[in-house]
Structure 1
Amino acid sequence: MLSYRLLLSLAAPVFALRLIRDGRLAAERLGGGAGAARGAGPVIWLHGASNGELASARGLVDRLLDRRPGARLVVTCNSATGRALVRGWGLDRVAVRLAPLDYRWALGRFLSRWQPAALMLIESELWPNRLAAMAARGRPVLVVGARMSARSAARWGRLPGLVGAMLARVCYLSAQDAGSGARFVALGLDPARLGPVVDLKSGGAAPAPPDPEALARLAPLFPRGDTLLAASTHEGEERAVLAAFAAARATRPGLRLILAPRHPRRSPEIAAEIARTGLPFATRSRGEAPGPDMPVYLADTMGEMGLWYALAGIGFIGGSLVDRGGHTPWEPAAQGTAILHGPHVANFARVYAALDAAGAARRVTGPDELARALAGLDGPAQAAMAARASDIAARLSADGAGLDPLLDALIRLIDTPNGDPDHG
């Protein structure tokens, strides 16, 4: 821990720049801002990195508020977009803040304001001082849908003292797959504190429904059977998608592309990439209307994925041609969109394996294979894939995410003196 805290001190200038970038929200990073209002029930601190983790936890939040009527939640995240997502839920007993930096004084300010009875971490947000601060106050820490790849486990294995100290402070951990659970145990988690597998993203939250006026305005320009959505793309993927799209248009000239990057701030570089192809395009954030002679629409906004899926019969899922683990297949499965993806899908390996085996999704390794898939996926083929994906999603969701053991453990830990998971 001493070496970690030394590294934090050395990183202080980097965090100072982040605080400047956060502007008026910087106080939250320092543990400030308004705290919990008085109430009879406990405050539960739930933390997820950003949009994906928080969206996957929405069902958990609803179940928790139902199970514990007096409870209130303070949700923290690392991004302004995640903060906006939670604010958009409009839940009376849920507050949202940017997460305090992992400095002991910032955490102390945050904990004094909120007095959380427990901390629930989504997936893999393990911060040493955060866990130590909760343990020092006798407050339980739970990790939900925990993910640990073999590569990450190997890296953590080089720091046995640090990872061992962190995992000793975890009272309950539910991994999102058996392999992750085994890797946490190998790194030092007490096997008695390993709960059943819980994949929060099974049947995860659907995107917000599209604005009816926007859908009515755009639908005539994007015939669903001829529209590809490249969803949540990362750097290095747009060029491949554009090359495949241009090649497929040689045999399907009516194809349209909606390009929705994971990070809209990259819009200028993506616009330059589109311009290099010579394909006419319009940009959503500029209010430009895509005309019939503009085959590409740069959808560089947040919160409109439901609109894009409603328009697209084919979806390429980003983060999968580059090694980002792949993004959710649940949204396109729920929206009746045929699913294409690259080889890097570790974040949803079980789901993609089931989809691929059933012919409900198709794996492509680069622009050539993507172009061939686009050229051959006509309306009936899209509908057949989408129907199979819907069936697979329903089955996996029914198999998946029993939350009761997790909620039972949380309530038991909150109600147990000193957060002793073995008490009683």
Structure 2
Amino acid sequence: MNRISYSALLLLLTPLLLVYLGFRALKSADYRGRIGERFGLGLPKIQRPIVVHCASMGETLAALPLIRALQQRYPQLPVLVTTTTPTGSAQVKQQLGDSVYHCYLPIDLSGVMRRFLQRLQPSAVILMETELWPNLVHHCYRQQIPVILANARLSQRSAKGYARVGGLVTPMLKQLSAVAVQHNQDGARFVSLGLPAGKLTECGSLKFDLKLSDHDRQQAREFAFTLWGERPVWVAGSVHPGEFAALFSAHQQLLKQQADALLVLVPRHPEQFEAAFAAACDHGFDCQRRSSGAAVDGQTQVLIGDTMGELKRLFGGATLAYVGGSLIERGGHNPLEPAAFGKPVLMGPHYFNFQQIGDALKAQQVLEVIHSNDELAQALQQLLFEPKRRQQIADAALEFVGNNQGATERQLAVIAASLDSRA
């Protein structure tokens, strides 16, 4: 497949995409009022912005220190943050407010992307992690707009998938201005797909650059104490439906040993909030919703985290953490957030989206990999009953995160080289 056949296929699929967007609009106001943005309509009235594209919530949160660094270095240029999901959009508004412009990135139709770029005339386009869109990259190249792939990562599984469509991927990689890769293994995979090695810089992961002050840690402790008191609590964050049953089974086993233990389950996607609450009730737990705003009742065994933007504080106030998307083959989510708070981290075996970070945390004995609900229950019991071990893990986690910070400055330097050379 090449770019022309990709564009033709995408054009043929557009009616189905419109049906999908219409269906989502029935349930979500964020889709309902903003379908035009998916086709490059209703764009912010700005010129020469730095465009930073973050697919969803995870990429947006990781990009925050880089976006703020860009604002400081280039105060004369507006920053436009684009996303593809409502959860990503919500984080842009919550974390950055009016300091940036925001819209959805249009669908990667050739004509739409050409018009999008002609209208905005970006100073540069920064794509986060693996957000590679062939027509966007092609038209940036044609219009001499630098495109930088920042915080880039590429799992072995993804690399194999890209290799199957080398006629599409290799020309796109050659048109990138620079790639700031997280790890050398990721970089080697990009080069194997056709990226010129001279465009590659290993910079580390932005996800390490979590700015947690003593005040932030104290706030998390106070938040937790107000919400659930001094109970032993494990927070299962970014959980997917295929994991609910295993987590609930492990919690049932834990309650036999620790009757006042509390599970805080935070689904990855808001549309799963209600299903998670129903599933918890079906398993016989006394359940409560975080959205109720009330402190957790002493009889509550499961709290469903059905609010947005609170997972960081929940991790910070927990006794230990499970990071979801890893008991099923979703690739896992970011384990660094609980680790940065010094929390023991549990994950399933499928964390290939964070392979290097997960393996490094495992080597430091901060992360424990579990394969079943029984293993999870056993790990929970051991960690809850061993405060000295938790303290050792906390010390190792904080040292590890601190030693790996600095990616923001390194990636900013890569971006600046492209921006300043164009200027």
What's the TM-score once normalised by structure 1's chain length? Answer: 0.89
Q: How does 1:115-134 map to 2 (within 5 A)?
A: 115-134=121-140
Contact 2:325 2:331 in 1 (8 A): yes
Q: 1:180 to 1:236 in 2, by over 3 A?
A: same
Pick from 77, 81, 87: which aligns with 2:93?
Answer: 87
SS at match of 1:163: helix
Report the alpha carbon displacement of residue 398 of structure 1 after superposing the two structures with TM: 5.2
Pick from 262, 286, 289: which aligns with 1:256?
Answer: 262
Aligned length: 411
Counterpart of 2:364 in structure 1 is 358
Q: 1:389 is aligned with what amino acid?
A: A
Pick from 25, 34, 38: which aligns with 1:25?
Answer: 34
Q: How does 1:103-142 map to 2 (within 5 A)?
A: 103-142=109-148
SS at match of 1:11: helix
The yes-or-no answer on 1:343 pairing with 2:349 is yes
Q: 1:27 is aligned with what amino acid?
A: G
Comparing 394-403 and 326-335, the one that deviates more: 394-403
Q: 1:290 to 1:154 in 2, by over 3 A?
A: same
Q: 1:335 is aligned with what amino acid?
A: F
Structure 1, unpaired ranges of 5+? 416-424
Q: 1:211 to 1:278 in 2, by over 3 A?
A: farther
Q: 2:296 is aligned with what amino acid?
A: P
Q: 2:291 is aligned with what amino acid?
A: S
Q: 1:407 to 1:131 in 2, by over 3 A?
A: closer
Q: 1:218 to 1:164 in 2, by over 3 A?
A: closer
Report the alpha carbon displacement of residue 283 of structure 1 after superposing the two structures with TM: 1.8
Contact 1:231 1:317 in 2 (8 A): yes
Q: 1:182 is aligned with what amino acid?
A: A
Q: How does 1:11-410 map to 2 (within 5 A)?
A: 11-20=13-22, 21=25, 22-37=31-46, 42-90=48-96, 93-204=99-210, 219=225, 222-224=228-230, 226-286=232-292, 290-377=296-383, 378=385, 379-397=387-405, 402-410=410-418
Q: Write 1 or 2 for the structure with the bigger share of helix.
A: 2
Contact 2:83 2:105 in 1 (8 A): yes
After superposition, give the CA deviation of every residue in 1:70-115 in whole Å (9 maximum; x if it has no partner). 1221110101121121122346552111111111232233223321
SS at match of 2:308: coil
Counterpart of 2:5 in structure 1 is 3
> 2-side partners of 1:5 and 1:233: how far apart?
34
Report the alpha carbon displacement of residue 363 of structure 1 after superposing the two structures with TM: 1.8
> 2-side partners of 1:242 and 1:51: how far apart?
25
Report the alpha carbon displacement of residue 361 of structure 1 after superposing the two structures with TM: 2.4
> 2-side partners of 1:375 and 1:121: how far apart?
42
Report the alpha carbon displacement of residue 268 of structure 1 after superposing the two structures with TM: 2.5
Contact 1:35 1:113 in 2 (8 A): no
Contact 1:224 1:311 in 2 (8 A): no
Contact 1:58 1:205 in 2 (8 A): no
What's the TM-score once normalised by structure 2's chain length? Answer: 0.89
Q: Alignment identity in percent? A: 32
> 2-side partners of 1:50 and 1:211: how far apart?
29
Q: 1:169 to 1:278 in 2, by over 3 A?
A: same
Structure 2, unpaired ranges of 5+? 26-30
Report the alpha carbon displacement of residue 348 of structure 1 after superposing the two structures with TM: 2.6
Q: 2:37 is aligned with what amino acid?
A: E
> 2-side partners of 1:346 and 1:206: how far apart?
26
What CA RMSD, in Å, does the superposition of the two structures yield over aligned residues? 2.6
Contact 1:313 1:336 in 2 (8 A): no
SS at match of 1:250: helix
Comparing 263-272 and 290-299, the one that deviates more: 263-272
> 2-side partners of 1:210 and 1:386: how far apart?
13
Q: 2:329 is aligned with what amino acid?
A: D
SS at match of 1:65: helix
